Structure 1
Amino acid sequence: MITPTKGIAPERCLLAVGAQILLQLDEPRTVSQTWARLKAWRSEKSHHSPLSFGWFVLTLDVLYGMGALELRHDLLVARSADAASAER
């Protein structure tokens, strides 16, 4: 689930979707804005595997748990690698 498995295609695993989400966070965005941008980006890049909103939220949970993003004033903010490692 987090990484590709027999049942989870590489483009649907949580780490791959997480990377796609982080690409959308070039500036702080709401959850809805990020979801809309991710769907548009996946369509432009011909990612035809389905991605539900639940899977998107689960990916946000994984990214938060890894310290890759945070929620500030109702906006998703991507954290730099330096900031994430400095707090550990």
Structure 2
Amino acid sequence: MILPSKHLSQDRALIGVGADILEVLTRPMTVSEAWDGVRKNRASRPDSAVLPFDWFVLAMCLLRALGALDLNDEGLLVRAERKP
């Protein structure tokens, strides 16, 4: 579920969906904006699987747990800053 396996392709694994989310997060945005951006990017790739919203949310939870995603003061999604 988190990592790709023999039965789960890379574009369905949560780490792959998380990469799609981080690719879209070039600026602070709402969850809806990120969802629309990820769906648009995945639709442009013909080999990409359909992404249900619950997998999108699980991938965001994984990114948050890994410290790669955060919320700013306005409640918008942002890439977490790396701390030395």
* TM-score (norm. length: structure 2): 0.90
Gaps of 5+ in 1: none
Gaps of 5+ in 2: none
Within a 5 Å distance, the mapping from 1:41-80 to structure 2 comes to 41-72=41-72, 73-80=74-81
Show CA shifts across 1:18-74 (max 9, x none). 011000000000000000010001111224312100000000000000000101222
How far did 1:6 drift?
2.5
CA distance in structure 1 between the partners assigned to 2:23 and 2:51 by the alignment = 16
Within a 5 Å distance, the mapping from 1:1-88 to structure 2 comes to 1-72=1-72, 73-80=74-81, 82-83=82-83, 86=84
CA distance in structure 2 between the partners assigned to 1:48 and 1:66 by the alignment = 24
Q: Which has the higher helix share?
A: 1
Q: Aligned-residue CA RMSD in angstroms?
A: 1.3
CA distance in structure 2 between the partners assigned to 1:30 and 1:21 by the alignment = 12
Report the CA distance shift for 1:75/1:47 in structure 2 as closer, same or farther (over 3 A).
Answer: farther
Identity %: 39
